[in-house]
Amino acid sequence: MTGPKVTIIGAGSFFTNAWIRDITLSEKLPEGDFALVDTDEKRLDLSKKMAEKLISETGSNWEVTASTESENLLPESDYLINTIEVAGMENVREDYEIPKKYGVDQCIGDTTGPGGIMKAFRTIPAWLDILEDAEKLCPDALVLNYTNPMHMMTMSANKASNMEVVGLCHSVQGTSRQLADYLEVPYEELEWECAGINHMSWFTNLEHEGRDLYPELLRKAEVPEIYEQDPIRFEMMKEFGYFVTESSGHFSEYLPYFRKDPDLIDKYCREGYRGESGFYSRNWPDWRKKLDEFRRRWVKGEEIAEELMVGTPGLEDFDPKERSHEYGSYIIEAHETGQETVIFGNFPNNGLIDNLPDDGIVEVKTLVDGGGFHPCRFGTLPEQLAGLNRSNMTVHKLTVDSILNEDREKGIRAFMLDPLTAAVSTPSRIRDMAEELLAAESEYIPDYLTN
């Protein structure tokens, strides 16, 4: 094959379906190789069969290899897509239920707060091992990280590795389309600017044909049918002036305002991604089973029951012949062809946003071409937005510093500074919560945290 080699680490992920479909649907890319890696041999086999059928469905001739050992497939990789999950199934209940005992109520709990910190403790060591291997076996590869907690994963890579890494999410492109729907404006005509940190980036400009759309969005927020789709994001827009990129439920975990007592949760939170308590911990194991069953049936050409699709992330609107808005395939296409594209990626700040810490990770408009990634300087965020970002950036920095320096106290203080956790408890109680979490998940985290 003359085309690129794309290696996917954690290929059991539901994202793998989309990446392989998107890449094979590109008319600009020469056919190359997909290398699939996953430590779960059964799920890896399913992913390989799914990949082969997707390639057949799109009429392309990409080749597929698979291995449970990344060292077998990393050599000659041009692109490394990371989507690993480290012991999540074994710990998702503890990530939710232990903090809940201390009054910390989470909806998703995998990117910030107690659940996000614990996921970082489990995931970053394995992530750094992958990057260390990549430095030896494919040092020139571009690394696309989709694994959460995004901010902490990207920060640890920047501090500990020489690989060129971008953190990728779908919240910017997804929310911009959602805003076009709310505003009843054709998406191609919506003019916008966006910057901040992952899951807390802000649409600082919304226009259509030179007209400011924020007054109209505020009016739309008064319509109950629209408000109910995004209560917390609309509340924050009313008070802070701007709309944020992440769903109401996930976003609520980054804030001290909406989840600190049952009355507030009843008032502002709704089912599902709009803020449901324990939504992720209760549903994720079932989603994973449904994904595996979907793959088994789809590969065999069997009829797929509607209940497998409805409510399952990545399956509800799955179309094997329609390219998605995920950035992965467009990055590879731009880098291979030299034809510039625009994404929103997560990179070290280094002056990209004036009033956020230079050593933090920010999410900004980024140009991609044959030379790689070129994040664009944004300037200054409205200070009220920067303040909300900084409160979470401190938590993320302490967590990463704890891991890189094996400093247990920094890890515990990360819990203490989390905005939601701090809103409901005292430092000593938060320490008790952290100690209980570390003990419960001791089998899956570094030894320095359990001593």
Rounded to an integer, what distance in angstroms lies between the CA atom of residue 19 and that of residue 5?
A: 13
Rounded to an integer, what distance in angstroms lies between the CA atom of residue 119 and that of residue 103?
A: 19
Burial of 222: CB neighbours in 10 Å, binned 0-12, 13-18, 19+: exposed
Residue 149, preceding bond cis, omega within 30 degrees?
A: yes
Q: Check residue 20 and give left, alpha or beta (phi > 0: left; psi -120 to 50: alpha).
A: alpha
Report the length, in residues, of the chain.
451
Phi and psi torsions of 344, nearest 5° = -120, 115
Q: Provide the pairing of β-strand 200-208 with 211-212.
A: antiparallel
Q: What is the DSSP letter of 188?
A: G
Which DSSP string do the residues of 232-249 spell out, in sequence order?
A: HHHHHHHHHSSEESS-HH
Rounded to an integer, what distance in angstroms lies between the CA atom of residue 64 and that of residue 61?
A: 10
What type of residue sits at position 395? Answer: V
Task: Say which of 151, 170, 250, 325 is annotated catalytic.
Answer: 170
Q: Which of helix, strand or coil describes residue 322?
A: coil
Q: Catalytic: 374?
A: no
Phi and psi torsions of 425, nearest 5° = -150, 175
Which pair of tokens denotes residue 320?
């094997």
For residue 363, the cross-strand partners are 196, 346
Rounded to an integer, what distance in angstroms lies between the CA atom of residue 118 and that of residue 10?
A: 19
What type of residue sits at position 398? Answer: L
Active site amino acids: 170
